[in-house]
Amino acid sequence: MRHCEVSCAIISWDSMRSMPEPERDFQRERTRMVATQIAARGVKDPRVLAAMKRVPRERFLLLEDRGLAHEDHAVAIGRGQTLSQPYMVAKMTEELCLTGSERVLEIGTGSGYQTAILAELAAEIFTVERIEELSLRARHTLEELGYRNIRFRVGDGSQGWGEFAPYERILVTAGAPELPPSLVAQLAPGGILAIPVGDERSQILTIVSKTADGRIVQSRSTLCTFVKLIGQEGWTAEK
Ligand code: SAH
């Protein structure tokens, strides 16, 4: 035991990056990630912090990239898409003020990591991804981890998911040129929509609240950089 404590203490963070998976202490890396990247930058919601400590972020990455799971940046997930930086996931989730009872629409399933965080904190998640391969991989990971409160759809989420609308919360994890009218329409009275809006290089995380009588109030949260929301009410696909 004593020997283990001593040898763990002398393993540097850099050497852990190249360690094979079973030898790594991902839980420890996660706890450190939450303290140094998320709580230290001002995210306070205790439910968000606890969820970020619980969900095994490495499981949403390709095997060869799992060592990067808890680093302070986005990570590639294939097909030109990325899993967002841990802080950005936490910040966007906190902006949604989830209490546990909400139905949430997520646009941009990607790896499914943000979906898992939402599934920990809300009642039911409806998630849309335009790339089938990513949707299927995310679904497999989330089912393996035991999540049962998620519905998946492959398609253009810039137009929302009319079938189950309205939603108390909507989260878009890709950058839009402007606010997609369909998403605003599918937001329930009293609801909150968080969406990065801006040009291709940088966006502002925009928070849209719908009052009980249906008025729209917008506020600006933080600067961010997301891949493009491609679709009817987003950017045009590149040929
Ligand atoms: N939340 C994701 C981040 C994925 S990056 C995660 O935790 O991993 C954004 C994703 O949005 C990409 O997978 C991209 O394919 C998807 N996307 C872009 N435009 C979309 C659209 N119109 N509808 C649905 N998904 C879209």
- Encode pLDDT of 132-174 as tens digits: 999 999 999 999 999 999 999 999 999 999 999 999 999 999 9
Q: Which helix (H) or strand (E) segment is 151 a member of?
A: strand 150-154
Ligand 1 atom closest to Cα of 114? 7
Query: SS3 of 197, please?
Result: strand
Q: Which helix (H) or strand (E) segment is 179 a member of?
A: none
Q: Is 107 in the pocket of ligand 1 (CB under 6 A)?
A: yes
Q: How far is the CA of 4 from the centre of ligand 1 (A)?
A: 42
Q: Domains in the chain, please, with CATH?
A: 25-224 (3.40.50.150)
Q: Is 161 in the pocket of ligand 1 (CB under 6 A)?
A: no
Phi-psi region of 170 (alpha: psi -120 to 50; beta: other; left: phi over 0): beta
Residues forming the active site = 84
The residue whose C-alpha atom lies closest to atom 16 belonging to ligand 1 is 108
Q: Is 103 in the pocket of ligand 1 (CB under 6 A)?
A: no
Q: How far is the CA of 75 from the centre of ligand 1 (A)?
A: 13
Q: Is 117 in the pocket of ligand 1 (CB under 6 A)?
A: no
Q: How far apart are CA 78 and CA 88, in angstroms?
A: 20
Specify whether the CB–CB gap between 95 and 170 falls below 8 A.
Answer: no
Q: How far is the CA of 13 from the centre of ligand 1 (A)?
A: 31
Task: State phi, psi for 232 to the nearest 5 degrees.
Answer: -50, -40
Calculate the alpha carbon distances from 100 to 79, 121, 125, 186 in Å: 33, 5, 11, 20
Q: Is 196 in the pocket of ligand 1 (CB under 6 A)?
A: no
The residue whose C-alpha atom lies closest to atom 4 belonging to ligand 1 is 110
Q: How far is the CA of 125 from the centre of ligand 1 (A)?
A: 15
Low-confidence ranges of the chain (pLDDT < 50): 1-15
pLDDT, residue 24, reads 83
